[in-house]
Structure formats: structure tokens, C-alpha cells
A and B are shown apart, each in its own frame.
Chain A
């Protein structure tokens, strides 16, 4: 059952795509995604997959190229970060609107300005409404497994939507971790060859990416939304199958020591592991703390979140992006909105943390939990640890 290797997470994520036998990669390198781009290029150059690597002139072209390739029926991969993701933004709703099962690895990084190459979630959060399934990896094993799962989810006939697998830049991409890399035969059993719903071919002309008049556009948007909302069923089926075959469990919302918890932290991405250590520390101090981790961002797992928060009196939601001039961080406002109609719901505090790679340590999470539990928050959201 696979092989445990010590590997940099960016390379391992590219290896996962290779195990899926991608046929076209179009990637433009950008820190901290560059090692993904380089390794995909190596894999193609070494003939390890029967694939083309398109050296595009920018991220807009990278995504456009894989949109075209996917429309012809190829299994495709691209990857980016930060400004590159924002540059792709113009074509991202086209990929989802055309219902193409593209898989993209995003190495999360802050967006300018000031220019900053380090990790936060200010690149992925503005992409929230582009119609892509979006899954957050917490560690290297998540990254590998989620890339493979992503193709199975994306290509399902009831889904047919592009999938982003995000991993925190540097904190994950550049870290060497022990990762179980599945065998090729195992992945082949899990993921059959891509059988597209329709393809562009000169002998069988069809139109993709058509004009939608006011008479049809709202119906098309509703159809896309229903597809995204309903994809959670397939995502859970794929995760169940993964657990049966590979023994590793995935959930839309994961919990840690929440059963009897009074106060809980909520994280997304790699900080979940640090927060777990903080929860253990708080438990040693007799604070009934727990942790809730959102792994599936789109479609938003409303029911899973409500279930995970049962009995929680105070919730400290951490955000790694700012909604400037808005109601709080994007995760906070979505979580709060999800709970609005609940008769019993936790008091929610919002800490904006880890912007542009600012370190967040165990002690910081301990402090946040204690402050949230005591209700000592002067603002609806707080830039935790910001000087002044």
C-alpha cells in the first residue's frame, strides 16, 4: 500500500498529478508554486507520463491553455500562487461555466501590495465565487491525496467542475514531510481514464463557451450553482472510497477534541496542526478547548459545520485574509452567516492572523482561545498581534 517517502510537499503534489497520468500541463512559475511547475516539467521531460508541457507566457494563458486542452478531452493540470491566481481570475469562471474538470494546485501566498511572497489566504479568498470546488490541504499527505481525489471528483458526470487544491505556500510547499505516495496500480484502480462528457473535435462539431442571452443566462447560472451545491455528495463518496482503499479518512469539516468542548478554534490549512497542539496545551490547563477545521471551502459544508459546532459556546474563527471594509474575515462572515438561523449558536470572535507569513505559534492560539472565552474583544474582528 504505497510507499512512505520523505519528500518536499510541492514535489509530492506534482508526483500525485503524475500518478493521475495527466496529459497536458500548462504552468507559469511563481513563488511559492515554482517547485510544482519545475517538477511537472521534469516529469514530462523524463517521459514519465505521456503528456505535453506548454510553456506559456503567463497565468492567464496557463489556465486558458488547459481550458482548451480539457475541452478536447485531455486530463490537465495547472498550478499557481498569489498574483498569478488573480491574473487567472478572468478565465476562472469560464472554466467552471464550461464545466471542465480541470485540476489546479494553488500554493497560497499573500497578494500585493506591499509585495510579499509569504503565505496567507488573500489569493484564494477572492476566487470564492468563481465556481470552482475548493479544498484546503493541511499537510503533505492531504496535498497528495487531495490532488488524486480531485480528478475523481471533477470528472464525475454529476459534477463536471474544476477543482482547486490549495496548500499553504512555504509552510507546506517547501517543507519535507514523510508522505505515503500511493502505487501507480492503486491509483489506476481508483481513477479510471478520463471519459469526457463531450469533446471538441473537427469531425464532430459542437460549441463550447457559447453566447448566453438574457433569456438563458440566469438559467445557466442556476444550473452551475446546483451542480456545485450537489457536488458535496460526490466529494463525500470519493472520500469514503478513498478511506476504504487507502485507509486515510477525509471530512469536509474535521474536529479535534470537540466532544465536550466549551470553546473552539476554527482554522483552515496548515495552521490546523499548530492549533491542535494549542488545544492539547489548553486541556492541560483545564480549559475545555477544541478545534474545528474546514477542509472543504466550496461547496460550503453547512450541515457538517453545524454538526461540528454542536455544544460549542464560544468559537474563535481565524482568518488569513482581510475583507477590507467588510464584516470581518471571509471565513468568519461565512461561518456566522451559516449559523444565523440556528436557535442555539456559539458566540463568535474573529482573529485575523498570519498575514503575509507572520508566524503564529502555539501560545498565540492559546491566547486567542482564552480571550475569546472571556469575551474580551473590543472589535467585531481583530488583527491579532498587530502592533500599535
Chain B
């Protein structure tokens, strides 16, 4: 059996719901909330990194070519990156399917 995602019974809850395993919040994939996704047009991107700085989820990272992309496991589709991008390189498009 794999590790339980949460305690089965109230008796198993750690006092104060403390979590003793660091980084466990990364297992919670907030990307499932997303209604729109950011799409980069790298012909307009000047690699300034504002999207990376402003992303409240911290899910935007720089790739090998110096462009930026979001980790879709965590991107909630808030659109802050598109709003902040002053060259208009990021568009929010509807999720489909």
C-alpha cells in the first residue's frame, strides 16, 4: 500500500495538524483549479523575467534558452503573469476538454 495522502482517523491526526515531512505541499497539485492557461509567444519575449517574479505560485521557471514557462501541475491560471508582461508575450487561453 502506498503512503496515505491524509490520516485515516482523527486519532491519527498529528497535534495541531503539524507536518513533519518538509515540502509535502508540493504534492498538492493546484493546477487542477485552472480555467485558463498562460501561453507564451517567445517572439515577443525579452526574457525580463517579470512573469517569474510576479507568479504568486512560484511555478514559473527559466528554461535552457532563457525563456520562461509555467509548471502546469501548479499553475492556477490566475493570469497575473499575462497582466504583468509589458511586451504582451503571454496570453491567457481557455482550457479545453
Contacts and interface: CB of A to CB of B under 8 A. Distances in A.
Contacts of A32: none
Nearest to B28: A211
A94 to B, nearest CB: 10
Interface residues of A, number: 25
Nearest to B12: A219
Contact of B17 (A205, A210, A215): A210
B22 interface: yes
Max chain A Cβ within 10 angstroms of own Cβ: one of B6, B18, B19, B25: B18
B15 A99 contact: yes
Nearest to A217: B17
A160 interface: yes
Interface string B8-39: 01111101111110101100100000000000
B13 A205 contact: no
Contacts, number: 57
Summarize A's interface: helix, strand, loop or mixed. loop
A97 interface: yes
Contacts of B11: 223
A216 B22 CA distance: 19
Interface in A148-190: 160
Contacts of A213: 6
A223 B18 CA distance: 13
Contact of A219 (B7, B15, B20): B7
A314 interface: no
Contact of A211 (B7, B9, B25): B25
A222 B22 contact: no
A198 B5 CA distance: 22
Given A216-B6, A216-B7, A219-B7, A208 B13 contact: no
A111 B12 CA distance: 40
A219 B10 contact: yes
The size bracket of the interface on B is: 10 to 19
A205 B19 CA distance: 9
Contacts of B5: 215
B20 A98 contact: no
A219 B5 CA distance: 14
A212 interface: yes
Contact of B18 (A206, A216, A227): A206
Given A206-B22, A207-B24, A219 B13 contact: yes
A296 B74 CA distance: 47
Interface string A193-232: 0000110000001111111110110111011001100000
B6 A206 contact: no
Max chain B Cβ within 10 angstroms of own Cβ: one of A99, A206, A219: A219
A218 B9 CA distance: 10
Contacts of A209: 16-17
Contact of A212 (B10, B17, B20, B22): B17
Given A210-B17, A210-B19, A219 B25 contact: no
B26 to A, nearest CB: 12
A220 B15 contact: no
B57 to A, nearest CB: 14
A209 B17 CA distance: 7
Nearest to A197: B15
A219 B22 contact: no
A219 B13 CA distance: 7
A100 interface: yes
Interface of A: 97-100, 160, 197-198, 205-213, 215-216, 218-220, 222-223, 226-227
Interface of B: 5-7, 9-13, 15-20, 22, 24-25, 28
30 contacts: A98-B17, A100-B16, A160-B15, A160-B16, A197-B15, A198-B18, A206-B18, A206-B19, A206-B22, A207-B18, A207-B22, A207-B25, A208-B16, A208-B18, A209-B16, A210-B17, A210-B18, A210-B19, A210-B25, A213-B6, A216-B6, A216-B7, A216-B13, A218-B10, A219-B7, A219-B12, A220-B10, A222-B10, A223-B11, A227-B15
Given A206-B20, A223-B11, 16 more contacts: A97-B17, A98-B17, A197-B15, A198-B15, A198-B18, A207-B24, A209-B16, A212-B17, A216-B6, A216-B7, A219-B10, A219-B12, A220-B10, A223-B13, A223-B15, A227-B15
